[in-house]
Structures are given as C-alpha cells and as structure tokens.
Structure 1
Amino acid sequence: MADYLLFATERYALPILQPLADALQARGHTVGALLVDNARDGLIEGARMMSLREAVAFRPHAVFSAANWVPTFIRGAKVQLFHGFNVEKREDARGHFRVRGLFDLYCTQGPATTAPFKALAARHRHFKVVETGWSKLDPLFRDDDGQAAALRAPAAGREVVLFASTFTPRLSAAPQLYDAIRAQVERGDRYWLLTLHPKCPPELFDRYRALAGPNAAFVETEQLVAAQRAADVLLADTTSVVSEFVVQRKPVVTFRNRAPKAHMLDFNDAAQLPAMLERAFAPSATIREALRSYADQIHPWRDGYSAYRVLAATEAFLSGRLGQVGRKPWMAKFRALQIRRELGYWRP
C-alpha cells in the first residue's frame, strides 16, 4: 500500500478530489489532503487534513492536483487532474493547454483534450499523458449516496432546471438573467436548482439565495454534481458546468456563450428565456445528435470509475511502464521558487 496526497486551492476542487480519495481508500492506500487558499476550510472525507509541513513530511508517492499548480517541493510524482473542461475562455496557450513545467502526468478527460496534450508531451518530453476521464463526474453516473434524488424530490414531478454561472464579469449571466429567472421561479410550473461560482460577488449570492422556496433551491458548490444529475435542463453561460452537464447528453441553454456550438441553445436577450426553455425541453433530433457527439469527444467515460483509472495511470507512471520523462524546463525552477514564496516555505 502507498501514501498519496490530494492538493486543492479552491472549494470547487473538492468534488474532483473526493471520488479519488474514495478510490484510494478502497484500495487500502493512505490519503492525505493539503488544502490552501480558498479551499483551506474545506474537507475531503476519509483523508487526513494536513498542514504544509505535515504534507512535506508525509513524503507521498504522488500528489494529485485539481489546480493549475502544485507545490513542487513535496515528494512524489505530480499528477494534473484539471479543475474544469476547456470552455475556450482564453487562448489555448494561456488557458487549458498551457504547460507550466510542474506536472509529471496529465490525466485527461476525453479525446478533445487527450490529443492536444499528447502532441504537447511529444514536443516537451517532460510529462506523460493518459486519458482516464474526470474523477469529478464519477457521481454523475453513480448516485450512490442519493443526493441527486434528494435534490429532485421537492420538484414533485415537475421538470427541473439547473442554473449555473461563471464569475468572469464579462461572461456571467447571473446579473443579466436574474429578473427573467425570478419570473420563471414565481410561475412555479418548473422547479429550479440555483448555483453560482464561488468567486461571484456576495450580493449576487444574496439575491439568488433569496429565490429559494417551494419552487427553487440554492445549491452549494459541493452539491453541484448531484444537482447536474438531478436536473433535466441546464441554463448557463460560458461556465465549464455546460460541458459537465452535456456529458449526460442533456440539453443546455446558454446566454451569450463565448464560443457557442451546435449542441447549445444560445441566446442574447433575457426576454427570450421562456422560449429557449421550451425548446430545451423538446429538443430536436439535430440537437440530440450534437449533444451525443460533443459528449463523446470531451468525456466518453460513462461508467463512474474515472478515479480508478487515474489511480491505475499513476501506478503505471510510478512503475516506469509509461517510460521515462525528461528534465523539467528552466521556467519550472522559477515557478517553484514563486510557489515557495507564496506558501511561505523555504526549507530544503
């Protein structure tokens, strides 16, 4: 049995790491968790919460990161799990496909990300790539704890809409659609699950939480996957929740999406919301086929066992079955010093 460490900087990383913690424990491994910054007050069930110095002393075989970076001075292979899908908020070189020189193994979500990262691995030669699926979505296909059923129960047979929004001001639908969503909630013919990105302004949280009642519930970040399983249709913007939801091949309505695609019902005017929802609840054959095609490209794994594939890929890397990796680039050493400064850790 081996020791493994989970690393997160944001609350939204916790649902990514929890299925992996469960898989590690099921295999008899010891699991530690280092949660910093906005994730500091979070919890991963079954993992031992550690301080930075405890994590260093833990000397894990591997560190699983659901962030863009990882403390390079902690022992073990550094495994990138990703904190979201590629939703094209930024250029590739600055966004999803940016290589920072910190990771040894990238566990990709599906063909749409595997091929670009394998091309990058062939060019840079200092990391490996294995397509495993995304651990966060395991509960999407295995509602073992009944959270999704509990979230859906108050709908009492009504159709269920999930609303989710990014925090990026220029892309967020939350301010623009509030009045239209409130009107829909007040109608009561459908049941709403409402959630916001943790970085959204507090005043937005207050407004949306106030909509909770017989026709709506506010869902916290840790319940987001269960809410996606519970909902029939998603209303969103350019948030990566769109891609997560589409994996189920369920319809999505998007407001001013930065890069609208064939599987999205995208619109620009809040007054169009009722009509767009009607279309989503009766999707055309063209939309259904676009949903299936896109889902298979970004995340074909529908068995709920991606966390176990992540573990298998990591064990293959550690054993050398994936081959050797080259030396990290000079920029990685500079970034490692920045990370030490940010975390306040200067011991060797």
Structure 2
Amino acid sequence: MKYKFLIYISYSYALPTGNPLEQEILKRGEEVWWFADEKDGKKALKGKDNVYTDIEDVIAYEPHIVLAATNMVPDFITGVKVQIFHGFLAQKRPSKRHLFSEFRIRGFFDLYCTQGPSTTENFKKLAKKYGYFEVVETGWSKVDPLFPIETKEIAAIPNILIASTFTERLSLAYNEEVFQEIKRLSTTGNYNFLMVLHPKLPAEIIKKWKQLEGEFFTYYDTTNLIPLFKKSAILFADTTSAIQEFSLQHKPIVCFDHTFEHDYLIHVHNANKIEASFQYALEYPEKVLKKLATFTQRLHPYHDGLSSARVIDASICFLNKDKTELKPKPINLIRKLKIRQQLHYFTFQTFNRPPVYKKEILDLEKITAIIPTGNEVHNIENVIKSVDFADEILVVDSYSTDGTYEKALQLADKVVRRQYEYSASQKNWAIPQAKHEWVLLVDADERVTVPLREEIRAILANPPKDNTVGYWIGRKNHFMGQHVKHSGWKNDKVIRLFKRDYCVYENKKVHAEIIADGKIRYLKNKFYHNTYITLDKYLEKMNRYAWWQARDYHKKTGELTAYHFVIKPCWSFFKHYILQAGFRDGVVGFTIAYIKSYTVVMRYSKVWLLRRGRK
C-alpha cells in the first residue's frame, strides 16, 4: 500500500515550499494531495488536479503524513503532522523573550523538519521541554531549486531585485521617499529593477509600484522567487524573509531600515543613500561576503538540493518508528476551536498522539472491481487507483475513442469491450465475467473513499453468515465543483457491493437497480461522486437519458396532456428546490432543480415524438 501524503497550506506563498515535496513524493510512487484553508491558497491551487476543496474529503482521504506549511493544522485529521515551514526565521522583530519567539510552539505538530543549526538548536531545546514532538534537521524544501548555485558575471546593467514584507511599519513598499528614489533610478538606465511584493500587501500599494513598469523596471506577480534570485546581482529589501533565501547564493543584500543591524547585510536608513549602497553592494565587498557565508552556514548548510528528500525520509521514518516515549499533545481548546471555526467543521474527534503505520495482513475473501467506461480518460486513472485493493480490476469499455481503453490496458487486470446499449445491459453483461464471487461495481465518475474501502475490507474479512448478498452504498454527490448537501441528492444510494451469482440489474434503460436473491444491507460510508464535467456535457447526458426514459414511459403513459408538460415539470422543480431544500445549495441547487424539470419536459416531448415515429 502506498504512503498517502497531504500538503496543507494557507497562502499562495507556501506553494514553492510544497512543490519540490510533491515532486519527490510522486518520484517515489507515493500518493499526494493538497489542501488550503484560506482563499488565497485555494486560488493558487486551482491549476493542480490533486487538490481537495472540502475538509470532509481530507478526512475521508486519511493521510498517513501531513506536511504543513502553516502555523496550525487540524487535529481531527489522521496522520503524522509535520511542520515544514513557509519561511526562514526572519529575525525582523526585537523580542524581550527570545529571537526564536517568532516560531511559536502551538501544540499541533508531531515532527519539526528544521532548516539548519540556527533553528534546530532552539527546537531541540523546546522538544526536550515539551516532550510531545521530535526534531530532525533536513534543510528547507523551498530552496532545493536554487541549487547548484551558478556563478555569473555582473551585467553592464545589473539586475537588482526588490522585495518587501507586508507589515506597514517594516515595509519599504509604504515609504514614499524610497518609492521616489527607485522611480528616479529606474529612469537612469544604470540599473534594471525586478520587483516582487508580498501578496498580503494592499492592492493600492501594489498598483502604485506597478506604475513604474518600463524598460528598466519589471513587476512580477509571483510567489516563486528563485528564478528572480538567480538572475539578480543584489537584493534590495526591508525585513522580508526573502533576505535569508537570497543570502544562500552569497550575493550582497541592501536593507532599508532593518530592525537589526546584522553584520552580513548592507544597511541604509535614508532614501538619498540608496544608490550609494547599491554601488557598494555591486562591488561584492569581501568583508560582507565572509559574514554572509558564516550566517548561511548556520541558516541552511545544505547545497545539494536534496532537502525535500530528507523531509520525506524523516517523515516516513517517524511514522514507522516507536513513539511511545512521546507525551500526548496539549489539550489546546482555544486553538482547536479556532481551526474548527475557520474550516466550518465541528467535531469532538481529535488525535493527541502521532499514529504508527501498520500494514494489516488479513485473510480476506477475494473481490472483483468492475468499472464500466465510455470516453472516461479524465477519470480512468483515479477511479482505478481508488479500487486498487481489489483482487481483480475489470474494465468494461464501450469502444471509447478518447484513449480510455489504451489507458485502462496499462492499469487494470482485465479490459474487455462491448458496444454500449444502456447502463443495465452493460452491467449485466459484465457481472458474470468477474473472476471472484464478491463484486464491487464502480462508475468512472465515482471514487471509493478510504473509510468505504476499509468498511468493504472488514466485510470481506468477516462475511455475513446469513443470506446477505449485497449492500447499499450512499453517494456523496458533487456538482459544478460543489458538494451538494440537499436538492434530493442527500440520501442518494445504490447497490454496488454484491455477490455475483445472486444479483442482476432490472431491465430498465435509466436508473435500473439490482434485483437480489437475498438480503440487502447498508454500508455506513459513501462513494465520492462527481457527476459533472461541464454544463454542456451534463445536459447532453440528461438529453440522452430522456430518450431512454421516453422508451420506458411510452409503454406505461396514457394520453399526453398539460399535466405531463406543465404540472409535472413544475412539481419536479418545486420538489427539488423547495421541499428538498435545493435553495440551500445556492446557484448549484437552482441549476439542479431547473435541469430536473427540463428533463421531465424533454422526456414527455420525446414520448410524443416516439409515438409519431420521429426523433
């Protein structure tokens, strides 16, 4: 069984920390998903396929390891909670207690993967003090792409990177004199400025600086700074943590009004001295570079670009080791309530001790997973992955033309083809071809969640002794990217786990159900079901269903009247939108109710056409 990783973030600037980890996890053949608990992070993850948008899906995923580039992480999801950090210790605020107070211990993490000696030493002391977490020095995954460092000559017109933090009293981005001086210097042709600003800065500040764009000034709307680090000769900054990242290249850094007079930085406090500081930095003063080398050796001594691999190794090692000597994590009621409020998910479930991964070896009855497909290349890999616990995976393809068949041949145990008539016909043809007595039938747009998988495995380990031959399985439906909690879909269920020789589908074109020769029980857990690709595709599907339903209804429907074309569609809309609380699903609920009523109209319109020999 694969290790299941979850990369947990809040803001977009954590993506560059998680991306190298994702690459390392996938390279090893393990499984990884992302989740963001803030809008900015959710927006940044939109381009990825392996993203959970609903905390309930994260819970169902049951990760073994949670890699968190956040200050807090839900205590109610499974897995070892690993702090991977979203930045270096920036040392931007004087503290009466300790410089290290910038990294607070909040009681959520089992393992801290530290970046270098300057953080490891402090965390080791804290681990000894609290006793409920461990510390492993790994280096920081975000800077892996920075290595190996390439030495380049400074260009005739040198690139100067400008970066700023978001706190107003610490940020150069708010300083009008700095703005005017950079504006002036950008017109001299002596310097080429590259600028990035923290995504938390107000839009009006960002807009102001973007107005400087021209031949020698470029604004970059990105959180991936490493390409800019590589092409820049020096950095101009305030107290931003980009200072520490840039310093690993051993290139000079000019800081405006830094709160500490660090000897590895070139400090400037007056805007009219900025250009002189740039000229000094571009000389690469040996005194400053020596101090910088000493600083970075304690900050991040790893120059091999393999910190991500060390993080994954440390996490897996910690997961599998004996952890009985660790104390339980603190009760932490206020912070636990806060994260439940943030995620709008309230539960008494909490994991105060890190788990130990044990691969169970059980004497299970064998099972065949049957997956009917028809142009499902976008679904086939993930649906097969979700049933990888089955002893046989049988794909029944209806002559797909989009690559589904070819992909299934690579992933499934057996792939057969048959011309599609209608769903019940296809499934009844497939069931006798199953190698094993127990059958799990999964549509391509469904996924077997981890809790459902374990419930099925429990049944196979201890099959019912009575005449039970099948099980109803509920479906957690998603439509238009949203979990549909009402609209008549709340209690959706299907018989999908059954004994091969005791069950057959009724001969109906649409919504046929199993006819069982024996007892049918209910499973507690549900399929994840995403019936939606695009609205056009969904309407096309509903139109196809309407034709099939028309053939069934043609035989049992009397004379067509206004009742069929007006009353029944209106009743359908009222039932789904009002009685079944579709209005609580917002636009999605309205859309579902409207399509349902439209389908009723189309069904009887097609009955009318059938009776006249038309299409």
* Structure 1 residue aligned with 2:360: none
Q: Identify if the C-alpha distance between structure 1 residues 244 and 33 changes in structure 2 by more than 3 Å, giving closer, same or farther.
A: same
Q: Deviations over 1:138-190 (max 9, x none)?
A: 111159xxxx9xxx9xx986311100001111110112211111111111222
Shift of 1:256: 0.5
Structure 1 contact 14–44 (Cα < 8 Å) conserved: no
Q: Identify if the C-alpha distance between structure 1 residues 308 and 287 changes in structure 2 by more than 3 Å, giving closer, same or farther.
A: same
* Structure 1 residue aligned with 2:303: 302
Report which stretch shifted further, 288-297 or 80-89.
80-89
Amino acid at match of 2:45: L
**TM-score scaled by length of structure 1:** 0.92
The number of aligned residues is 338
Q: How does 1:130-279 map to 2 (within 5 A)?
A: 130-141=136-147, 158-176=157-175, 177-279=178-280
Shift of 1:57: 0.6
Structure 1 contact 22–46 (Cα < 8 Å) conserved: no
Shift of 1:337: 2.4
Amino acid at match of 2:287: T
Shift of 1:76: 0.3
**TM-score scaled by length of structure 2:** 0.53
Q: Deviations over 1:102-141 (max 9, x none)?
A: 0000011110000000010011110000111111111111
Q: Identify if the C-alpha distance between structure 1 residues 306 and 240 changes in structure 2 by more than 3 Å, giving closer, same or farther.
A: same
The structure whose Rg is larger is 2
The yes-or-no answer on 1:121 pairing with 2:127 is yes
The yes-or-no answer on 1:338 pairing with 2:338 is yes
Structure 1 contact 164–236 (Cα < 8 Å) conserved: yes
Structure 2: distance between partners of 1:6 and 1:66 = 8
SS of aligned partner of 2:236: strand
Amino acid at match of 1:170: R
Q: 1:99 aligns with which of 105, 110, 116?
A: 105
SS of aligned partner of 2:254: strand
Amino acid at match of 2:158: E
Structure 2: distance between partners of 1:202 and 1:44 = 21
Structure 2: distance between partners of 1:324 and 1:235 = 47
Q: How does 1:21-170 map to 2 (within 5 A)?
A: 21-37=22-38, 38-43=40-45, 48-50=50-52, 51-90=54-93, 91=95, 92=98, 95-141=101-147, 158-170=157-169
SS of aligned partner of 2:67: strand
Report which stretch shifted further, 256-265 or 321-330.
321-330
Structure 1 contact 11–221 (Cα < 8 Å) conserved: no
Q: Identify if the C-alpha distance between structure 1 residues 309 and 94 changes in structure 2 by more than 3 Å, giving closer, same or farther.
A: closer
Structure 1: distance between partners of 2:64 and 2:48 = 18
Structure 1 contact 67–83 (Cα < 8 Å) conserved: yes
Shift of 1:31: 0.8
Amino acid at match of 1:64: L
Q: Identify if the C-alpha distance between structure 1 residues 346 and 27 changes in structure 2 by more than 3 Å, giving closer, same or farther.
A: same
Gaps of 5+ in 2: 350-615
Which one has more relative contact order, counting CA pairs under 8 Å at least 6 apart?
Answer: 1
SS of aligned partner of 2:225: helix
SS of aligned partner of 1:21: helix
SS of aligned partner of 1:263: coil
SS of aligned partner of 1:330: coil
Shift of 1:80: 0.4
Structure 1 contact 66–80 (Cα < 8 Å) conserved: yes
Amino acid at match of 1:116: N
Structure 2: distance between partners of 1:83 and 1:101 = 17
Structure 2: distance between partners of 1:167 and 1:46 = 27
Q: Identify if the C-alpha distance between structure 1 residues 323 and 234 changes in structure 2 by more than 3 Å, giving closer, same or farther.
A: farther
Structure 1 contact 138–304 (Cα < 8 Å) conserved: yes
Structure 1 contact 191–215 (Cα < 8 Å) conserved: yes
Structure 1 contact 256–268 (Cα < 8 Å) conserved: yes
CA RMSD, Structure 1 to Structure 2 (Å) = 2.1
